[in-house]
Amino acid sequence: MKIETVDFFYLAMPDVKDVGDGSQDALLVRVRGGGFEGWGECEASPLTSIAAFICPMSHSACKPVAASVLGQNIDTPTDIARIAVELDLNSMDLLQAAHSWSGVEIALWDLLGKRHGEPVYKLLGYERAYPKVPYASQLFGQTAEETRTLCRKAKEAGFRAVKCGWGPFGRGSLKDDRDQLQAAREGLGTEGTLLADAGQIWGEDVAAAEARLPLLEEVDATWLEEPFHGSAYGAYGQLAARATSVRLAGGEAAHNAFMARHTMDYGKVGYIQIDCGRIGGIGPAKRVAEHAVKSGVTYVNHTFTSHLALSASLQPFAGLKDHVICEYPIAPQAMAWEMCANHILPDQNGEVHVPHSPGLGIEVDTARVRAFLVDVEITVNGNTLYRTPAV
Amino acid sequence: MKIETVDFFYLAMPDVKDVGDGSQDALLVRVRGGGFEGWGECEASPLTSIAAFICPMSHSACKPVAASVLGQNIDTPTDIARIAVELDLNSMDLLQAAHSWSGVEIALWDLLGKRHGEPVYKLLGYERAYPKVPYASQLFGQTAEETRTLCRKAKEAGFRAVKCGWGPFGRGSLKDDRDQLQAAREGLGTEGTLLADAGQIWGEDVAAAEARLPLLEEVDATWLEEPFHGSAYGAYGQLAARATSVRLAGGEAAHNAFMARHTMDYGKVGYIQIDCGRIGGIGPAKRVAEHAVKSGVTYVNHTFTSHLALSASLQPFAGLKDHVICEYPIAPQAMAWEMCANHILPDQNGEVHVPHSPGLGIEVDTARVRAFLVDVEITVNGNTLYRTPAV
């Protein structure tokens, strides 16, 4: 079948706040071809990613993403990979292309799955999907007391694993960080899996990060996430060599499979975190999962918006039985929740299951999409290159 | 002084063709503060980079570039570095931010230079600027005969070094590539420096690239540029280990200093090619030059648009006496030439000199800018976030 149309929908909460909550807006992608419809999502700046899809060509290696996608034939997963290779050359100098293409690529897998009547993980070659243990992903409280309460609530809600990140962590004294981590452990109890996310706060300052290792080991934290800039593989590698029980986690910034491999090979992380909405979609994420298995690294999804994005992010490691932990947005904004008509909910064991219905198995609620839709218009020399389409 | 305004100007030739000529459009940046004006240029998709500057915030780590720049105080180079660090955190999830910021950063150096009455290379700590030997940067001809003629003409125009790239190279048989390389050497003569650019054509296929090494050695080529994807450091490193006289060159895709360092440390290139209009501007490029010196790697600029971009690209290695070769656009489109009122021309020895006047030493021809100006308007929920400003 032919890729007939690709439409981008920019959704947002009425009031986007200056906080570390990535569920305040979304960029939804709809592809249509052969009577089928597929949906995907970019984890990216919506306006900038729309621009990357429709921008005028600058030269033969700086073409809009649309130039490599529209009108292409697509019948099997090989076709998606072929388009990705063409895009790499056609949009080599368009930095945002990877983020813009990611949502399209995901939508193409959804489309193919629906056409073949198979869930995406089967198209990826997995015989079956194993349940995952979701961790509650949340911000550190402004005070240790607040963090204790947040972790206790997550535990009471049934979560066996909790991640605290960002906020004041790494910005104050060692004592402040120790208080935060101790409070998190107290709230979660001795049994739960505790994860900490530094949000790149130390740049490439290995000493600053190293000073926190004893505090993390004291509370039996499983991982320290993103201590450094996403490209600072050398700093990652040095810190990994100095850690004892704590492993490093990272990779969410990777916008191609190479970068994720480097985070493992040079950065020596124990957990590789991949956002399908950034790395170029599900195809490259699956290749990263294969490399992780070979390298003894655990694959984890990175997801903080809708359950459409969540389903996409689970597919690349759905069939890896031993890679069990998964990121699960615990308190998304109304937009991120309501844009999907069905959801991936923890069962009575607190585990989540990849949908078994064709494609990604998530239905978009077009009425709710309309409610959060942002009107965008981009004109260049009098020609309208983009106007928010009808849902 | 305060950064009062930042204005983006998208210029383009009336007809942008599907060829590997990057001088067909440009994104010019003007900053104003304290009664001074600085100019810079992004080497990037203009529309997408404008969107990255003005897009609505998605969350605290996905803010528009403008949020980290407008209203900031800037008096010394340290202030530029401080803004860059803030931007890294504020726009962590906005991929295009690096390209958008690059032009602003360059304009800030021009502004500071004018304010302090010093050329930028002096603000960077260099006592003096050494002349560079420009190489003529051109595409391989469609036939070997055409390539021979192109190289002979470059030699006759006074160039002591010529780079041929892209076109059919690497896409056909080994014999085709051999014919092309032999023709290039014949056209250039035995004395000239011959450089070859594969434009990432082999992805990460080391064997395909290795098969060309004997052909390159046969014609005494100095470097093989971009055999692989810009992030394929492993493939670079493997090929470098197998080469004898030919060195690898790469790095133009780097959108931060880390990536350039990786290209040297892991990729083992002999020449690191930096585009100031992509890597985050002149500041990170200077740090790359320092790392190159320590690593025994030769720094080379990557430039294919205007002489404003050329001046910016020469500053980071202006004071490195032994890093002499420089990329020089041999046949830019009218837009790329005319947007500057003065130019960097080879002297009677065929060498070029970094301008000694304050800032970047290049004046923008606002009348000609107006002639090539592209009208853009971006509205979001009825608010005009960008409209092409008056020059």
Q: Could you report the per-residue pLDDT of A3-20, keeping only the tens digit for each?
A: 999 999 999 999 999 998
Residue whose tokens read 């958008």: B100
Q: Could you report the per-residue pLDDT of A13-51, keeping only the tens digit for each?
A: 999 999 989 999 999 999 999 999 999 999 999 999 999
Return residues 52-71 of A near B (CB < 8 Å): 52, 54-64
Q: Could you report the per-residue pLDDT of A65-80, keeping only the tens digit for each?
A: 999 999 999 999 999 9
> Would you call A96 and B93 a contact, using CB atoms and an 8 Å cutoff?
no
pLDDT at A207 (0 to 100)? 97
At B236, which amino acid appears? Y
Contact status, residue B236 vs residue B227, Cβ threshold 8 Å: yes
pLDDT at B318 (0 to 100)? 98
Under-50 pLDDT residues of chain B:
none
- pTM exceeding 0.95: yes
Q: Does B81 touch chain A (CB under 8 A)?
A: no
Return residues 20-39 of B near A (CB < 8 Å): 20-22, 24-25
ipTM computed for the complex: 0.96
- Chain B residue with minimal CA distance to A13? B58
> Would you call B47 and A378 a contact, using CB atoms and an 8 Å cutoff?
yes
- Chain A residue with minimal CA distance to B20? A60
> Would you call B51 and A56 a contact, using CB atoms and an 8 Å cutoff?
no
Report the mean per-residue pLDDT for chain A. Answer: 96
Cα gap B91→B99, rounded to integer Å: 12
pLDDT at B329 (0 to 100)? 85
Contact status, residue A299 vs residue B270, Cβ threshold 8 Å: no
Cα gap B114→A247, rounded to integer Å: 49
pLDDT at B167 (0 to 100)? 87
User: What 3-state DSSP class applies to A97?
Assistant: helix
Structure tokens at B201: 């054509």
pLDDT at A123 (0 to 100)? 98
- Chain A residue with minimal CA distance to B96? A96
Q: What is the DSSP string of B158-223?
A: T-SEEEEESTTTTTS-HHHHHHHHHHHHHHH-SSSEEEEE-TTTTTT-HHHHHTTHHHHHHTT-SE
Cα gap A177→A168, rounded to integer Å: 8
* Total number of residues shown for chain A: 391
CB < 8 Å to A261, chain B? 234
Confidence band for A331, pLDDT divided at 50, 70 and 90? confident
CB < 8 Å to A206, chain B? none
Q: DSSP assignment, residue B277?
A: T
> Would you call A256 and B229 a contact, using CB atoms and an 8 Å cutoff?
yes
> Would you call B259 and A231 a contact, using CB atoms and an 8 Å cutoff?
yes
pLDDT at A137 (0 to 100)? 87
Cα gap A246→A230, rounded to integer Å: 19
pLDDT at B281 (0 to 100)? 98
Radius of gyration of chain B (CA): 21
**Mutation test of the interface with chain A: which of B53, B96, B278, choosing the one with the most A Cβ atoms within 10 A?**
B96
**Mutation test of the interface with chain B: which of A10, A43, A47, choosing the one with the most B Cβ atoms within 10 A?**
A47
Q: Does A200 touch chain B (CB under 8 A)?
A: yes
Q: Does B47 touch chain A (CB under 8 A)?
A: yes
> Would you call A233 and B25 a contact, using CB atoms and an 8 Å cutoff?
no
> Would you call B96 and A96 a contact, using CB atoms and an 8 Å cutoff?
yes
> Would you call B378 and A381 a contact, using CB atoms and an 8 Å cutoff?
no
CB < 8 Å to A45, chain B? 51-52, 55, 58, 62, 64, 93-96
pLDDT at A222 (0 to 100)? 97
Return residues 256-285 of B near A (CB < 8 Å): 256, 258-259, 261-262, 265-266, 278
pLDDT at A166 (0 to 100)? 85
Q: DSSP assignment, residue A38?
A: E
Q: Could you report the per-residue pLDDT of A260-297, keeping only the tens digit for each?
A: 999 999 999 999 999 999 999 999 999 999 999 999 99
Q: Does B98 touch chain A (CB under 8 A)?
A: yes
Q: Residues A102-118: what's their mean pLDDT?
A: 98
Q: Could you report the per-residue pLDDT of B8-20, keeping only the tens digit for each?
A: 999 999 999 999 8
